[in-house]
Amino acid sequence: MENISNMSLLSCLVEQTASSIPVVNPANGQTLGFVATHDKLAIENKIQKAKTAQKSWAKTTAKQRADIMQRWYQLLMDNQEDLARIMTLEQGKPLAESRGEVAYGASFLQWFAEEGKRAYGETIPTPLADRRIMTIRQPVGVAAAITPWNFPIAMITRKAAPALAAGCSFVVKPAVQTPLSAYAVAELARQAGLPDDLLVVVTTEDAVMVGELFCQSPDIQKISFTGSTNVGRILMRQSAETVKRVSMELGGNAPFVVFDDADIDLAVKGAIASKFRNAGQTCVCANRFYVHDAVYDEFAEKFAKAVSELKIGDGLEDGVSIGPLIDDKAKEKTQRLLQDAVNEGATIAVGGKALEGQFFEPTILTNVSHTNSIVQEEIFGPIAPLIRFSDEASLIEMANDTIYGLASYFYSKDINRIFRVAEALDYGMVGVNEGVISTEVAPFGGVKQSGIGREGASQGLDEYLNTKYICLGGM
Ligand code: NAP
């Protein structure tokens, strides 16, 4: 594969066989290589090995685990360029964004290496003189994860780091489109000294089989999923049978609000970053823009100018900021949503065309109303619908009128409004005068049908720990 200096990162590539899985570059349709496919029996064997390995891992100290994770962090950063190239080749995002994701993904290893040392229990004042009451926190056991293609590294490390820091072992099925990044991260864990069978990557085209196996297995104590709300519902239903702990990072429908007192240039900058990162394929992407009447024309004009300057192309080329969509299905969905919006009365202000291959022009729609289908659905593509509003109360109602509750954004300089609106938005995350809010130190996650649980921050570690109460009697 072109220009990858650390070839051991590609040790997962196998010869093409009847069952091996092709990995395709979405920028040009070329096959990059093949990875192995694991059947049910092979995955069950790996789960058994992960179960055995976890028992020893749980006996190590948090400091011993941290030392390995710090080395792993450093190896990700030392190989940032190779990892970024692999990611751009299989996922399509511009190289600058891939480099950013490698650093973001690595940050969870560094953060949780330290946070694992703070998995404190409690000593609780006793109500009975002959007893002492305390709690300790212990790893849940084997944790399993299913991850999406849009953040091929960060969605794995955001789960694997707290799991391993807590003393769990970790089995992950990455998205079928982006297995190379997953294997590369696992190879660096091996080089960092992580013992065998603690971080296991399984690849298959049969996601349904893996989902059922993970949920039903009595040897897996926890499922962490990032992906669509629909698949999240299926996994929760399946997990009910074994009463498994679940974390769900699901879909979003983020409102992006520009109030009449906003700094418009700052709002345009935030809108570009929030909407068009990864060609609009992130769960926290702004999905619908509510712009106050008084500043609508100014915002629309400046936003349109900024969007028309975005360069579309292969993510490996210099200056490209919009790469291809992940596959034909994603392109068709984007086209359908655009056509529906136009049929419902929207006007294409910028872009609007599907290009050759899997590329789609970054697009702005005006004359959109809150009830249009494009406002109600998660777009997951480079289309920005603009809706006018005139008062704060009706804006809050519209912003909260969705089954989702992941990220939300608004721009205002009025401190009273900032607190009022931030508190009124039914979302797990609110960006105020900022369009990119993800960081390892803050709890990432949603409310309503955007999910359960938090990733990153101290809350991220809780997801992989059980609290045990110990009562000392007869004192
Ligand atoms: P998806 O279809 O739900 O796929 C995500 C993962 O689930 C993939 O690994 C996929 O495997 C697997 N999968 C699909 N069907 C399954 C089933 N029946 N049982 C078990 N696993 C199954 O989602 P996507 O379209 O790839 O990703 C986009 C979605 O993810 C969006 O809704 C986005 O908002 C959400 N997302 C959320 C977050 C967050 O943190 N909240 C972050 C990123 C993305 P295959 O690849 O083999 O199909």
Q: What pLDDT digit, counting tens, does each position of 343-363 carry? A: 999 999 999 999 999 999 999
Last residue of a domain, one of 416, 432, 448: 432
* Ligand 1 lined by 403 (C-beta under 6 Å): no
- Specify whether 365 is located in the same domain as 319: yes
Q: Which amino acid is at 227?
A: G
Rounded to the nearest whole angstrom, what is the distance from the C-alpha of residue 42 to the centroid of ligand 1? 22
- Specify whether 212 is located in the same domain as 265: no
* Ligand 1 lined by 21 (C-beta under 6 Å): no
Residue 423 and residue 434: Cα distance in Å, rounded?
A: 16
Band the pLDDT of 470: cuts 50, 70, 90. very high
Rounded to the nearest whole angstrom, what is the distance from the C-alpha of residue 403 to the centroid of ligand 1? 18
Q: Which helix (H) or strand (E) holds 287?
A: strand 286-292
Expressed as residue numbers, the domain containing 398 is 254-432
Q: What average pLDDT score do residues 259-280 get?
A: 98
Rounded to the nearest whole angstrom, what is the distance from the C-alpha of residue 226 to the centroid of ligand 1? 6
Q: Which residues of 377-401 are buried (b: 16+ CB within 10 A; e: fewer)?
A: bbbbbbbbbbbbbeebeebbebbbe
- Specify whether 381 is located in the same domain as 413: yes
Q: What average pLDDT score do residues 10-24 get?
A: 95
Given a cut of 90, whether residue 52 has pLDDT beyond it is yes
Say what the pLDDT of residue 184 is. 98
Report yes or no on 321 lying in a domain: yes
Q: What are phi and psi of 175, to 5 degrees?
A: -60, 150
- Specify whether 284 is located in the same domain as 236: no
Report yes or no on 392 lying in a domain: yes
Q: What pLDDT digit, counting tens, does each position of 203-234 carry? A: 999 999 999 999 999 999 999 999 999 999 99
- Specify whether 14 is located in the same domain as 87: yes
* Ligand 1 lined by 152 (C-beta under 6 Å): no
Q: How far is CA 216 from the centre of its chain?
A: 24
Q: How far is CA 373 from CA 25, 38, 346, 376, 439, in A?
A: 31, 39, 11, 5, 31
* Ligand 1 lined by 149 (C-beta under 6 Å): yes
Say what the pLDDT of residue 3 is. 82
Q: Terminal CA-to-CA distance of the chain, rounded, Å?
A: 67
Q: Which residues pair with 246 in a beta bridge?
A: 223
* Ligand 1 lined by 228 (C-beta under 6 Å): yes
Say what the pLDDT of residue 155 is. 98
| Sequence-ordered strand ranges (E) for 400-461 | 407-411, 429-432, 451-452
Residue 453 and residue 451: Cα distance in Å, rounded?
A: 7
- Specify whether 398 is located in the same domain as 265: yes
- Specify whether 57 is located in the same domain as 161: yes
- Specify whether 245 is located in the same domain as 263: no
Nearest one of 357, 352, 321 to 339, comparing CA atoms: 352
Rounded to the nearest whole angstrom, what is the distance from the C-alpha of residue 252 to the centroid of ligand 1? 12
List 249, 361, 440, 455, catalytic entry: 249
- Specify whether 258 is located in the same domain as 216: no
Residue 216 and residue 240: Cα distance in Å, rounded?
A: 9
Q: Which residues of 317-347 are buried (b: 16+ CB within 10 A; e: fewer)?
A: eeebbbbbbbeeebbebbbebbeebeeeebe
Report yes or no on 108 lying in a domain: yes
Pocket test for ligand 1, best of 23, 210, 226, 448 (most atoms within 8 A of CB): 226
- Residue whose CA lies nearest to ligand 1 atom number 39: 249
- Specify whether 225 is located in the same domain as 291: no
Nearest one of 137, 159, 138 to 148, comparing CA atoms: 159
Q: Which residues of 151-180 are buried (b: 16+ CB within 10 A; e: fewer)?
A: bbbbbbbbbbbbbbbbbbbbbbbbbbbbbb
Cβ pair 453, 445 in contact under 8 A: yes
Report yes or no on 380 lying in a domain: yes
Active site residue 249: yes
Q: What average pLDDT score do residues 278-292 get?
A: 98
- Specify whether 363 is located in the same domain as 351: yes
Q: What are phi and psi of 365, to 5 degrees?
A: -110, 135
For a pLDDT cut of 90, what percent of the chain falls above it?
99
Given a cut of 90, whether residue 101 has pLDDT beyond it is yes
Alpha helix stretches (DSSP H) within 38-153: 40-59, 62-78, 80-91, 95-115
| Sequence-ordered strand ranges (E) for 186-244 | 199-201, 222-226
* Ligand 1 lined by 231 (C-beta under 6 Å): yes
Cβ pair 193, 71 in contact under 8 A: yes
Given a cut of 90, whether residue 174 has pLDDT beyond it is yes
Given a cut of 70, whether residue 288 has pLDDT beyond it is yes
* Ligand 1 lined by 226 (C-beta under 6 Å): yes
Which ligand 1 atom is the nearest neighbour of the CA of 251? 34
Say what the pLDDT of residue 363 is. 98
Band the pLDDT of 2: cuts 50, 70, 90. low
Q: Which amino acid is at 342?
A: V
Residue 466 and residue 457: Cα distance in Å, rounded?
A: 17
Band the pLDDT of 435: cuts 50, 70, 90. very high
Q: What average pLDDT score do residues 180-199 get?
A: 98
Report yes or no on 331 lying in a domain: yes
Given a cut of 90, whether residue 1 has pLDDT beyond it is no
Residue 272 and residue 360: Cα distance in Å, rounded?
A: 16
Q: How far is CA 80 from the centre of its chain?
A: 19
Rounded to the nearest whole angstrom, what is the distance from the C-alpha of residue 450 to the centroid of ligand 1? 13
For a pLDDT cut of 70, what percent of the chain falls above it?
100
Cβ pair 252, 184 in contact under 8 A: no
Report yes or no on 455 lying in a domain: no
Alpha helix stretches (DSSP H) within 379-414: 392-400
- Specify whether 231 is located in the same domain as 270: no
- When the pLDDT of each residue in the chain is averaged and rounded to a whole number, the result is 97
Q: What are phi and psi of 426, to 5 degrees?
A: -85, 70
Q: Which residues pair with 467 in a beta bridge?
A: 137
Q: Which residues of 281-292 are buried (b: 16+ CB within 10 A; e: fewer)?
A: bbbbbbbbbbbb
Last residue of a domain, one of 230, 250, 270: 250
Q: What average pLDDT score do residues 274-288 get?
A: 98
Q: What pLDDT digit, counting tens, does each position of 116-167 carry? A: 999 999 999 999 999 999 999 999 999 999 999 999 999 999 999 999 999 9
Query: How many domains is the chain partitioned into structurally?
Result: 2
Report yes or no on 473 lying in a domain: no
474: left (phi over 0), alpha (psi -120 to 50) or beta: left
Residues written for the chain: 475
Nearest one of 228, 192, 81, 98 to 153, comparing CA atoms: 98
Interacting residues of 43 by C-beta distance below 8 A, sequence separation 6+: 171, 202, 204, 210, 213
Report yes or no on 144 lying in a domain: yes
Given a cut of 90, whether residue 36 has pLDDT beyond it is yes
- CATH number of the domain where residue 153 is located: 3.40.605.10
Q: What is the pTM of this model?
A: 0.97
Query: Helix (H, G, I), strand (E, B), or coil: what is residue 31?
Result: strand
